[in-house]
Amino acid sequence: MNLDKMIEVGQLFEQYKDLLTEKQREIVSLYYEEDYSLGEISENLNVSRQGVYDTLKRSEKTMKEYEQKLHLVSKLQKQEETINLIKDRIVDIRCTLSERKECMDLIPELEKIEEICRGIIE
Amino acid sequence: MNLDKMIEVGQLFEQYKDLLTEKQREIVSLYYEEDYSLGEISENLNVSRQGVYDTLKRSEKTMKEYEQKLHLVSKLQKQEETINLIKDRIVDIRCTLSERKECMDLIPELEKIEEICRGIIE
């Protein structure tokens, strides 16, 4: 499978999986996360190969339509860029040793912001 | 109108307005953002008062269903809390004057993260 495509669908799935039906979620997860082939999914779920293919295509279309409206994938990317920039600047601040710790302690806090967006912190 | 209700719908609308139909978006905006009454909206848009009411109720229901799945309102609130906490800690860092500027310069960068989530920075 094309790696770019895999990453793209993976990012969409991370943001929008809860807007898919249970069946769509299962098939997208098996194909893109677990790396099952169309044939293997077809056999395991007792759905035709064409049915698996159609479900994948429909799920991708649905998630892309949501992304066009909500931009959650691109917002997360921009937040991550900004967070990484701030982290770099924190590391560069030349404080004395004791204040340095106070600065460095901000980094895990910054990482929390990203985790909230990813749904890791609920 | 109940203030809590107004804030709640306002927050939902900020996140999910692009998932409503154009008609729903217009009516929710007039009622909750522009503070028009049901009667005024009914007259201006040439829709029955009951029609305006039903559209408002349906829009709220739709947005609440999206929030149950995507949690964008609650994620934004948690991000804001975390960002405010980091800002407070930056202000508290006792650096010498020249490094203090480097610390304080991080604050507008942090505010960018919030603006990205709100869609102010595209």
Cβ–Cβ below 8 Å for B95 and A92: no
Cβ–Cβ below 8 Å for B82 and A112: yes
Residues A56 and A105 in one domain: no
Residues B19 and B50 in one domain: yes
Among A12, A68, A82, A122, most B C-beta atoms within 10 A, so best to mutate, is A82
Contacts with A114 from chain B: Cβ below 8 Å: none
Residues B103 and B91 in one domain: yes
Residues B66 and B26 in one domain: yes
Which residue of chain A comes nearest to B117, CA vs CA? A75
In the prediction, which pLDDT does A18 show? 96
Q: What's the angle, vertex CA A39, arms to CA A36 and CA A41, rounded to 5? A: 50
Domain count, chain B: 2
Give the ipTM of the model, two decimals please.
0.84
Residues 6+ apart with CB under 8 A from B58: B24
Which residue of chain B comes nearest to A15, CA vs CA? B70
In the prediction, which pLDDT does B98 show? 65
Rounded CA gap, B13 and A30, in Å? 34
Residues A91 and A48 in one domain: no
| Chain B contact present for A105, CB below 8 A | yes
> Three-state secondary structure along A61-73?
HHHHHHHHHHCHH
Domain span at B37: 3-70
pLDDT of A42 strictly over 90:
yes
The lowest-confidence range among A46-50, A54-58, A65-69, B111-115 is B111-115
Among A96, A116, A120, A122, most B C-beta atoms within 10 A, so best to mutate, is A116
Q: What's the angle, vertex CA B15, arms to CA B14 and CA B18, rounded to 5? A: 90
Determine the residue type at A97: L
Cβ–Cβ below 8 Å for B116 and A78: yes
Residues A20 and A49 in one domain: yes
A61 contacts B56 by C-beta, under 8 angstroms: no
Residues A57 and A80 in one domain: no
Residue given tokens 């799935």 in the structure block: A13
pLDDT digits (tens, 9 = 90+) for B67-121: 999 999 998 898 888 888 888 888 777 766 666 777 788 888 888 888 887 777 6
| Length, in residues, of chain A | 122
Name the residue among A42, A64, A65 with its Cα closest to residue A54.
A42
| Chain A contact present for B93, CB below 8 A | yes
Which residue of chain B comes nearest to A118, CA vs CA? B75
| Chain A contact present for B89, CB below 8 A | yes
Q: At what angle do helices B106-118 and A72-92 cross, to 10 degrees?
A: 170
Going from the C-alpha of B68 to that of each of A49, A82, A94, B31, the distances in angstroms are 33, 28, 45, 23
In the prediction, which pLDDT does A105 show? 81
pLDDT of A10 strictly over 90:
yes
Q: Mean pLDDT in chain B? A: 89
Going from the C-alpha of B90 to that of each of A87, A114, B67, B105, the distances in angstroms are 13, 19, 32, 10
Going from the C-alpha of B21 to that of each of A69, B43, B62, the distances in angstroms are 12, 20, 11
Q: Which two tokens stand for residue A34?
A: 């677990």
% of chain B at pLDDT higher than 90: 56
Q: Which two tokens stand for residue A102?
A: 């106070």
Q: Mean pLDDT in chain A? A: 89
In the prediction, which pLDDT does A82 show? 87
Residues A62 and A77 in one domain: no
Residues A13 and A58 in one domain: yes
Residues B7 and B66 in one domain: yes
Where are the strands (E) in A18-106, listed by range? none
pLDDT average, residue stretch A27-33: 95
- The CATH code of the domain that includes B22 is 1.10.10.10
